[in-house]
């Protein structure tokens, strides 16, 4: 079976200089990879590059672009829409499954009629993560997904990741929280830190930043 995501010799840049380089990994169905490294090493930049939101400085990312769902620090919610309306919007955009399972998975049942603008930071984060479940996409690319979540909500998210993997999906994430996923591999980006040489200008990539 072909891998869902393959990264070969990847180098990424931030502020016109390389951050990390020579990164290689493969994700197949049922696999998770957690990126680790000190703040500022380039985890976010690498995730954005893998998700197709910015061009690579070198190397290749091989994946079906319609297989990737990206979630970052910004929740990207429609403030005037309710929880239900936000999820229905994204379900229609991606053609994903009904929203009921996502609402249950992230414990949003009591909030379905509440506008996103009226949610707490943790509730907004849970809604943002619930959108992953309605995309129907196989590869989750997640940048610090547990920010603003309490311990109970972290456990809900970890359960959602487990179900996603069990259903044949894959996950690539940067997180400092132990999600209790013994099957997940860890990639320390420290050995891949670049010298910081300037990067030649390249044509900007075109992308649809669905989870910006």
Evaluate whether residue 83 is within a structural domain.
Answer: no
Evaluate whether residue 122 is within a structural domain.
Answer: no
- Cα–Cα distance, 47 to 129 (Å, whole number): 16
Evaluate whether residue 82 is within a structural domain.
Answer: no
Q: What CATH number is associated with residue 174?
A: 3.40.50.300
- Report how many domains make up the chain: 1
Q: What is the pTM (predicted TM-score) of this model?
A: 0.89
Give pLDDT tens digits along the chain (212 positions).
Answer: 789 999 999 999 998 899 999 999 999 999 999 999 999 999 999 999 999 999 999 999 999 989 999 998 767 799 999 999 999 999 999 999 999 999 999 999 999 999 999 999 999 999 999 999 999 999 999 999 999 999 999 999 999 999 999 999 999 999 988 898 888 999 999 999 998 656 554 444 443 444 44
Asked whether the beta carbons of 84 and 110 are under 8 A apart, the reply is no
Determine the structural domain holding residue 188 and report its residue range.
5-73+132-192
Evaluate whether residue 210 is within a structural domain.
Answer: no
- Cα–Cα distance, 82 to 61 (Å, whole number): 36
């Amino acid at each position: 079976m072909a891998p869902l995501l393959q990264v070969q010799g990847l180098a990424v840049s931030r502020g016109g200089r390389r951050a990390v380089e020579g990164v290689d990994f493969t994700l197949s169905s049922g696999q998770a990879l957690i990126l680790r490294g000190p703040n500022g090493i380039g985890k976010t930049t690498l995730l954005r590059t893998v998700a197709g939101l910015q061009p690579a400085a070198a190397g290749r990312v091989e994946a079906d672009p319609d297989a990737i769902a990206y979630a970052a620090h910004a929740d990207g919610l429609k403030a005037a829409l309710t929880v239900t309306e936000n999820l229905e919007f994204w379900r229609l955009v991606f053609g994903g499954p009904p929203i009921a399972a996502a609402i249950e998975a992230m414990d949003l049942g009591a909030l379905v009629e509440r506008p996103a603008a009226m949610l707490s930071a943790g509730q907004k984060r849970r809604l943002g993560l619930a959108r992953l479940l309605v995309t129907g996409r196989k590869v989750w690319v997640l940048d610090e997904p547990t920010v603003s979540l309490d311990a109970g909500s972290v456990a809900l998210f970890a359960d959602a990741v487990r179900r996603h993997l069990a259903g044949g999906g894959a996950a690539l994430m940067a997180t400092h929280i132990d999600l209790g996923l013994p099957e997940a591999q860890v990639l320390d980006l420290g050995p891949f830190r670049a010298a910081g040489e300037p990067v030649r200008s390249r044509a900007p990539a075109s992308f649809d930043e669905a989870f910006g």
